């Protein structure tokens, strides 16, 4: 049997980690990542990347705990090593307007389009929560600081510090708002006055793909008797980093179910 062709739509933390998990569970699959934007231009690049248990009201708590735990264990094991391997995975740039465009070219489509899924699959339950942050150079700040409701925060990363932030429901505006930039900077400087000396201030905006539950689901689309196998993995809201490995593993498991179904149907076809 020829190598199965899997297309992952989206190259944020969810698409990349899902592609990696698919390679791990199905080494013979050929995985292509199709995406409109790549790093540094995704929502995932805007995030501070903190592991914070975020709750999805309609996902059972024990499932969320499992996703978080798997992600934590995974990251803890590779902390300080640069292991983001792209071996065996092809990257292709471009916008997918309709999943059916991929029919015939790929056997299984994995939808990791983040907020892009609103349009791509017409999911009206998926809504943006806009977040504006500043990425600054202030290497003397070593510890994170976060105010009571978590709206103002200072999270040091390896290269830069993320200063936040905002949570604006159903706002699709990707351009930075200058008033908000000043407000964030003032709020953070009152928590940590040494930030007045921060250099190279960059402003970033991301749309959190917010949903009552992450959509992790197999779907068989059908058009005039023709079928398209799809696995969805989107809607991670404010917690995509915190659960990415757990949800990627679950999505790879769903891809495995699709493969089993394809192999079952092809052996039936031969009979
Ligand atoms: C300010 C801010 C701070 C955050 N801080 C944290 C944090 O500390 N911890 C945490 O866990 N989470 C945090 N988050 C949330 C986290 O960023 C998201 O949950 C996560 O990035 C979602 O990842 P994703 O891969 O689903 O989406 P994205 O990163 O948006 O990736 C989606 C990909 O799909 C592509 N795409 C979309 N539509 C199409 C299409 N039609 N055709 C082709 N390609 C398409 C895009 O180009 C992109 O590559 C934060 C978010 C923001 C905005
Ligand atoms: C994967 O590919 C190798 C080499 O082509 C082959 O020997 C092996 O049987 C394949 N494994 C599966 C599970 O299809
Ligand atoms: C990110 O976006 C900028 C501005 O549109 C563009 O110049 C750059 O090539 C993009 N980077 C990648 C990796 O796509
Ligand atoms: C969206 O956010 C921008 C920037 O903060 C703001 O200027 C605009 O008024 C907001 N739009 C809506 C519809 O709330």
**What mean pLDDT comes out for the span 211-238?**
97
Check residue 252 and give its pLDDT: 98
Contact by Cβ (8 Å): 131, 184: no
CA 75 to chain centre: 15
Which among 253, 265, 242, 262 is positioned nearest to 217, based on CA atoms?
A: 253
Residue 50 φ/ψ, nearest 5 degrees: -80, 145
**What mean pLDDT comes out for the span 216-240?**
97
86 band by pLDDT with thresholds 50, 70 and 90: very low
89 band by pLDDT with thresholds 50, 70 and 90: confident
**What mean pLDDT comes out for the span 148-167?**
93
Spatial separation of the C-alpha atoms in residues 12 and 42, rounded to whole Å: 6
Residue 138 φ/ψ, nearest 5 degrees: -155, 70
Contact by Cβ (8 Å): 109, 34: no
Q: Which atom of ligand 4 is nearest to the CA of 177?
A: 4
**What mean pLDDT comes out for the span 68-92?**
77
Residue 101, token pair as written in the block: 């465009």
* CA-to-CA separations, 164 to 103, 251, 254, in angstroms, rounded: 41, 31, 36
Check residue 1 and give its pLDDT: 59
Q: Which atom of ligand 1 is nearest to the CA of 117?
A: 38
Check residue 166 and give its pLDDT: 97
> Hey, what domains does the chain have and what are their CATH numbers?
5-126+211-270 (3.40.50.720), 127-209 (3.30.9.10)
% of the chain exceeding 90 in pLDDT: 85
CB under 6 Å to ligand 4: residues?
A: 130, 168, 171, 173, 177, 180
Ligand 3 center to residue 181 CA distance, Å? Answer: 22
User: What is the radius of gyration, based on Cα positions, of the chain?
Assistant: 20
Q: 3 in helix, strand or coil? A: coil
**What mean pLDDT comes out for the span 263-268?**
77
pTM of full prediction above 0.85 = yes
**What mean pLDDT comes out for the span 204-228?**
97
**What mean pLDDT comes out for the span 235-243?**
97
Residue 124 φ/ψ, nearest 5 degrees: -75, -10
Contact by Cβ (8 Å): 204, 180: no
pLDDT value at 165 more than 80: yes
Which residue has better confidence, 85 or 92?
Answer: 92
Residue 117, token pair as written in the block: 């899924």
pLDDT value at 84 more than 60: no
Residue 1, token pair as written in the block: 């049997």
Q: 259 in helix, strand or coil? A: helix
Ligand 4 center to residue 170 CA distance, Å? Answer: 9
**Least confident segment among 12-16, 124-128, 265-269:** 265-269
pLDDT value at 271 more than 60: no
Check residue 88 and give its pLDDT: 66
**What mean pLDDT comes out for the span 94-114?**
97
Which residue has better confidence, 161 or 77?
Answer: 161
Question: Using CA of residue 245, residue 246, residue 247, residue 249, what is the dihedral sign?
Answer: positive
CB under 6 Å to ligand 1: residues?
A: 9-15, 34-37, 42-44, 46-50, 52, 95-96, 112-116, 120, 131, 133, 164-165, 206, 208-209, 234, 236-242
Spatial separation of the C-alpha atoms in residues 204 and 62, rounded to whole Å: 33
Ligand 2 center to residue 28 CA distance, Å? Answer: 6
DSSP string, 157-210: -SS-EEEE---EET----SPPHHHHHHHHHHHHHH-GGGGG-EEEEEEEEEEEE
pLDDT value at 169 more than 80: yes
Structure confidence by residue, pLDDT tens digits, 23-41: 999 998 999 999 999 999 9
Q: What is the mean pLDDT of the chain?
A: 93
Starting from the edge strand earliest in sequence, which strands make up the sheet with 215-223, in order?
89-93, 30-35, 5-9, 108-111, 226-234, 215-223
Ligand 3 center to residue 242 CA distance, Å? Answer: 26
Q: Confirm or reject: Cβ of 41 under 6 Å from ligand 3.
A: yes
Position of tokens 């199905």? 26
| Helix segments in 9-123, DSSP class H | 13-25, 43-46, 61-78, 117-120
């Amino acid at each position: 049997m020829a190598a199965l062709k899997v297309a992952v739509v989206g190259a944020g933390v969810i698409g990349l980690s899902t592609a990696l998990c698919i390679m791990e569970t199905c080494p013979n699959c050929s995985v292509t990542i199709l995406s409109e934007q790549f790093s540094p231009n995704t929502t995932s690049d805007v995030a501070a990347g903190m592991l914070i248990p975020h709750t999805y009201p309609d996902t059972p708590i024990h499932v969320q705990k499992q996703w978080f735990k798997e992600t934590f264990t995974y990251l803890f094991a590779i902390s300080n090593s640069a292991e983001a391997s792209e071996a065996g995975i092809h990257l292709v740039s471009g916008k997918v307007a309709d999943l059916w465009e991929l029919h015939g070219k790929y056997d299984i489509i994995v939808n990791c389009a983040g907020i892009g899924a609103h349009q791509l699959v017409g999911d009206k339950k998926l809504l943006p929560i806009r977040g504006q942050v500043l990425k600054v150079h202030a290497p003397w700040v070593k510890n994170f600081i976060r105010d009571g409701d978590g709206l103002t925060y200072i999270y040091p990363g390896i290269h830069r510090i993320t200063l936040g932030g905002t949570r604006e429901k159903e706002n699709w505006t990707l351009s930075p708002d200058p008033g908000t930039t000043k407000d964030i900077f003032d709020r953070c400087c009152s928590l940590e006055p040494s930030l007045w000396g921060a250099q190279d201030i960059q402003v970033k905006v991301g749309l959190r793909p917010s949903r009552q539950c992450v959509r992790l689901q197999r779907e068989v689309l059908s058009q005039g008797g023709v079928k398209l196998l799809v696995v969805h993995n989107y809607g991670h809201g404010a917690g995509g980093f915190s659960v990415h490995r757990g949800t990627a593993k679950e999505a790879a498991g769903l891809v495995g179910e699709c493969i089993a179904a394809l192999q079952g149907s092809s052996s039936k076809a031969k009979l």
